[in-house]
Amino acid sequence: MENKKRFYITTPIYYPSDKLHIGHTYCTVATDAMARYKRLTGYDVLFLTGTDEHGQKIEDKAKEAGVTPKEFVDRIVTGEKGVLDLWKLMNISNDRFIRTTDDYHVAAIQKIFKKMYENGDIYKGKYVGKYCKPCESFWTESQLVDGKCPDCGREVQDAEEEAYFFRLSKYADRIQHLLEDTDFLEPRSRVNEMVNNFIKPGLEDLCVSRTSFTWGVPVDFDPGHVVYVWVDALFNYTTALGFMNDKYDDYDKFWPADVHFVGKEIVRFHSIIWPAMLMSMGMPLPKKVFGHGWLLLDGGKMSKSKGNVVDPYLLAQRFGVDALRFFLLRTFPFGSDGNFSNEALINTINVDLANDLGNLLSRTVSMVGKYFGGTLPQQQAEDPEKDRELVELVSTLRSRYEDQMEHFAFQNALAEIFKVIGRANKYIDENTPWVLARDMEANGPRLAGVMYNLLEVLRISAVLLTPFIPQSSAEILRQIGACEACQTWESAGQWGSLRADVTVQRGENLFPRIDLDKELAALEEIAAQAKKAALPALEVEPQLTEKVDFDTFCKSDFRAVKVKDCQNVKKSEKLLRFTLDDGTGTDRQILSGIAKWYKPEELIGKTLMAIVNLPPRKMMGLESNGMLISATHTEHGEEKLNLLMLDDKIPAGAKMC
């Protein structure tokens, strides 16, 4: 055990400022697949994730919510449907979870900051520049794009305060060499981005403390200053191993990290600032930073207001956790951006999981049941001509898969597996088991050979799919009767590990087909409801500030009226025609655009309020003499109207004043 090869992998620690969406889930699911893959191949893996809980944005949001910052983050991290719940639901196998508000981390950050100060890499100065609050990023004037934050495009604020600085400029050459001449940062395209946009224009020293808010790690030797949130956050990768603290004792074992997976917008922090600070501390650098792309919605950033459902809880509940995990890694190349849509999600489930994998499993298991009572006979016949291509493809699958996985090319690794699954489905059609089964005496051994080959395809595929769809893979392996020894990485590279007289177990259909149109309509409805629910529950029109003089007001003649008759106006969707008793002895006709809210019959006999001295108006060829008074407001964005109903004991014609 002691000599096992080690692998340390991390995800960015999430800002608990809002609920997580499917984009956040993407990175964590990818990291999980990588961690599970490494464990499968025999590594002693440490997979770290966590939450990045300090900073002005959190302080502001907590204030808005009327709670302390700690209460605020606790709710999002440990509360119902919080970060921890989500990772549990998504079957994330992290070994450790760090919160930057944990005491051991806070104390370690203070020591780290002090050490960089003492070695002269942190000095006190004055910060004058721009600050992007949502990104918690400082920028110099020259780094802004059209005067806005180069990362998110939002407005930046002027900022000036006494602050500590980190001598980033001192490390510019070493960082440039690290990026250009080693494989430290991948994909390669990100290297050019970093060098051209940040290093070549000249690396400036970085402001690493703030005094304008308090929600952060205090600089212990200078009260009033809190450590810049990115310094606090980046060192999580080492404090979570026990660096400068006694909580853990894995620093020597696992540092340097094998890879940090990070989203593209935080590559700058991980590939420039992070190695520079580690250099300053005299610590080894992580072996690799991989900057993955973003999941986009309609080509832009994810936001709740868009039509597609991006709530991972809801998607997992409707489609299953494995289907969702699979979709994320099968559909988008990890290094590039990809467009998320409900349609793409459902299509991937239907094509790959239901049609190809699900079908292969259910056809094979049910044929073994039907033709052999569930247990294959020992006597099996090969047909080298017919079997060669399939057997060769499956036997070499592990090595092609491994090549892709070692390069974090999840999409390609999965494509390799599905090539084999597709080939196996074709193999069924080529060998027509149902024809062989017509003469079991003559063809029994050959039919058993065909079945065995299919079971082997399923076994090897399921083992290699384990990092992506752990629960489903286990179920496939159970259904095909794979013993423990045939579920290992070694056995995935060996054709023929399954025992000849294997017994299958029929099970549930793993991936039922989804009716695309029906499901899209249901998701659209859910998104519309969610959008509505996000609008204010109750809105009323603001009161008028312009005054009306009393005499003018008194000229309005409001009366109680009784509804004698009420009808829809032909060809009008809006209008109702009222015949009213206004106490004068002559019927009064009023037209009112309230058909959306009332059925005519429910108003007959009611006592309402009307203004009766408005000049007559024609609508749809009918004359309206006055106006019924109603109350209006908006509920979750929807206009509501209620007629003013009076006590029926008030006689028709009674004056309102």
Look-up of token digits 């450790």: 96
CB of 155 to ligand MSP, least distance (A): 19
Residue 230 or 578 with smaller CB distance to ligand MSP: 230
Residue pair 335/293 in contact by the 8 Å Cβ criterion: yes
CB of 261 to ligand MSP, least distance (A): 8
Residue 108 or 428 with smaller CB distance to ligand MSP: 108
Look-up of token digits 């900057």: 291
What residue ranges bind ligand MSP (CB under 6 A)?
A: 12-15, 23-24, 26-27, 52, 233-234, 236, 262-263, 265-266, 294-295, 302
At 96, is the secondary structure helix, strand, or coil? strand
CB of 315 to ligand MSP, least distance (A): 14
Residue pair 378/500 in contact by the 8 Å Cβ criterion: yes
CB of 301 to ligand MSP, least distance (A): 7
Residue 19 or 640 with smaller CB distance to ligand MSP: 19
Residue 105 or 577 with smaller CB distance to ligand MSP: 105
What are the DSSP calls for 562-604, one per residue? EEEEEEEPTT-SS-EEEEEE-SSSSEEEEEES-TTT--GGGGT
**CA 259 from chain center: how many Å?**
22
User: Which residue is nearest to ligand MSP, using beta carbons?
Assistant: 263
CB of 571 to ligand MSP, least distance (A): 49
Residue 8 or 372 with smaller CB distance to ligand MSP: 8
CB of 236 to ligand MSP, least distance (A): 6
Q: CA of 289: how far to CAs of 10, 12, 162, in Å?
A: 10, 11, 33
CA distance from start to end of the chain:
91
Helix, strand, coil % in the chain, rounded to nearest 5: 45, 20, 35
Residue 630 has a CB neighbour count (10 Å cut-off) of 17
Nearest to 101 by CA among 23, 15, 3: 15
Neighbouring residues of 21: CB distance < 8 A, sequence distance ≥ 6: 302, 304, 310, 311, 312
Neighbouring residues of 522: CB distance < 8 A, sequence distance ≥ 6: none
207: β partners: 165
CB of 302 to ligand MSP, least distance (A): 5
Residue 262 or 451 with smaller CB distance to ligand MSP: 262
CB of 79 to ligand MSP, least distance (A): 17
CB of 112 to ligand MSP, least distance (A): 14
Nearest to 323 by CA among 347, 295, 306, 292: 347
CB of 522 to ligand MSP, least distance (A): 23
Integer Cα distance of 424 and 559 in angstroms: 82
Integer Cα distance of 131 and 165 in angstroms: 15
CB of 373 to ligand MSP, least distance (A): 49
At 561, is the secondary structure helix, strand, or coil? strand
Residue 149 or 576 with smaller CB distance to ligand MSP: 149
Residue pair 111/341 in contact by the 8 Å Cβ criterion: no
- Residue 595's φ and ψ, nearest 5 degrees, are -60, -25
Residue 27 or 112 with smaller CB distance to ligand MSP: 27
CB of 18 to ligand MSP, least distance (A): 9
Residue 15 or 113 with smaller CB distance to ligand MSP: 15
Task: Look at strands 607-611 and 630-635 and give their pairing.
Answer: unpaired
Q: Hey, what amino acid is at 60?
A: D
Residue 3 or 305 with smaller CB distance to ligand MSP: 305
Integer Cα distance of 469 and 471 in angstroms: 6
Look-up of token digits 């495009």: 153
Residue 215 or 427 with smaller CB distance to ligand MSP: 215
- Residue 39's φ and ψ, nearest 5 degrees, are -60, -45
Residue 242 or 291 with smaller CB distance to ligand MSP: 291
Residue pair 477/342 in contact by the 8 Å Cβ criterion: no
Q: Which two tokens stand for residue 266?
A: 């935080």
